[in-house]
């Protein structure tokens, strides 16, 4: 007759597997089927003259209940995570085609359609934070070499002011599509101070990575985290 713990029973019934099992599994790794099989084996092989201690048996039942509950809880959390990811994907897909404003000093001059003559029109869009009660200001565009290619006046006012540049340089020529550096300064009391600018871009696709992180792929070729977007419109 065999009397002892579930681990003792398993050792007695499977003497050739002890070394391998001890390296790869322990009782916390067992599933509910493993746990139940061991308890049944223990009950079948206990010494009738020395039946299993009732408190020990209740303790094992409690451990089995806890194990089963943890497995069910893990399954529920896994299902919840899948549902959340699916819902997030649906919400993120609605951003495709939307314009976004980001706290960046880079904006894209990109094709926006054709004019009445059939010529391609390129536009660069941004927003300037004028602050409170500005007396106007200046919006500037520079190429990749840092050369000033455009400078335009901003109206007096407060809050966020949208600006659009059609790619025409100060010398009258039209510059090719691509990324340009943007900056702005606002005037107060005769002084020009740097202002915050928000470059605009268009979302062409979205991706959901590990940890449900949402990445926006933009028309300019850049990719940004959705948390970096200041405004959708």
User: Residue 123 in 3-state DSSP?
Assistant: strand
79 belongs to a structural domain: yes
User: What is each CA distance from 218 to 100, 110, 200, 222, in whole angstroms?
Assistant: 9, 11, 10, 5
In the predicted structure, residue 160 carries a pLDDT above the cut 50: yes
Q: Are residues 26 and 124 both part of a single domain?
A: no
| CA distance linking residue 184 with residue 151, whole number of Å | 9
Name the residue with tokens 């500005």: 134
- Work out the mean pLDDT of the chain and round it to a whole number: 75
Same domain, 61 and 129: no
Residues 110, 84: one domain? Answer: no
What was the pLDDT predicted at 9?
Answer: 45
69 and 110 both lie in a single domain: no
Domain boundary among 44, 70, 93: 93
Residue at a domain's end among 93, 119, 134 = 93
| Residue 168 DSSP code | B
Q: Are residues 87 and 104 in the same domain?
A: no
Band of pLDDT at residue 97, cut at 50, 70 and 90: confident
Is the domain of 139 the same as that of 227? yes
Query: Looking at per-residue confidence, does 93 or 125 come out higher?
Result: 125
pTM: predicted TM-score of the whole model, two decimal places: 0.59
Domain boundary among 40, 62, 93: 93
pLDDT digits (tens, 9 = 90+) for 191-212: 889 999 999 998 999 887 777 7
The per-residue pLDDT for range 9-59, each reduced to its tens digit, is 444 445 554 444 444 455 455 555 665 566 566 656 655 555 555 455 445
- Higher pLDDT pick, 47 / 225: 225
Burial class (CB in 10 A: 0-12, 13-18, 19+), 161: buried
Predicted confidence at residue 232, as pLDDT, reads 85
Range from 66-80, 155-169, 183-197, 211-225 carrying the lowest mean pLDDT: 66-80
Q: What are the b/e assignments for 14-24, b being 16+ CB within 10 Å?
A: eeeeeeeeeee
Q: Are residues 213 and 119 in the same domain?
A: yes
Q: How confident is the model at residue 227 (pLDDT cuts 50, 70, 90)?
A: confident
Confidence of residue 142 (pLDDT cuts 50, 70, 90): very high
| Residue 177's CATH number | 2.60.40.4070
Count: domains in the chain: 2
pLDDT for 84 equals: 47
Task: Return d(Cα 43, Cα 25) in angstroms, integer.
Answer: 23
Residues 82 and 144 in one domain: no
Tens-digit pLDDT profile for residues 68-87: 554 554 555 455 445 445 56
Per the domain annotation, does 1 fall within a domain? no
- 116 in the same domain as 24: no
Residue 74: which domain range?
A: 6-93
> CB burial class (10 A; 0-12, 13-18, 19+) of residue 73?
exposed
116 and 135 inside one domain? yes
């Amino acid at each position: 007759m065999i009397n002892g713990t579930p681990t003792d029973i398993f050792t007695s019934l499977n003497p050739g597997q002890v070394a391998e099992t001890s390296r790869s599994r322990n009782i916390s790794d067992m599933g509910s089927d493993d746990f139940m099989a061991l308890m049944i084996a223990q009950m079948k092989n206990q010494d009738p003259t020395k039946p299993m201690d009732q408190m020990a048996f209740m303790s094992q039942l409690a451990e089995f209940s806890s194990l089963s509950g943890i497995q069910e809880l893990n399954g529920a959390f896994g299902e919840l995570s899948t549902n959340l990811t699916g819902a997030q994907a649906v919400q993120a897909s609605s951003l495709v085609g939307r314009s976004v404003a980001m706290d960046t000093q880079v904006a894209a001059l990109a094709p926006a359609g054709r004019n009445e003559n059939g010529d391609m029109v390129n536009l660069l869009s941004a927003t300037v934070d004028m602050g409170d009660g500005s007396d106007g200001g200046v919006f500037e565009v520079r190429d990749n070499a840092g050369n000033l290619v455009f400078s335009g006046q901003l109206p007096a006012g407060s809050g966020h002011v949208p600006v659009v540049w059609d790619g025409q340089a100060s010398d009258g020529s039209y510059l090719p599509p691509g990324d340009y550096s943007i900056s702005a300064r606002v005037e107060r009391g005769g002084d020009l101070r740097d202002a915050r600018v928000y470059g605009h871009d268009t979302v062409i696709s979205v991706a959901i990575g590990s940890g449900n992180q949402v990445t926006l792929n933009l028309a300019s070729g850049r990719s940004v985290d959705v948390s970096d977007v200041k405004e959708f419109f």
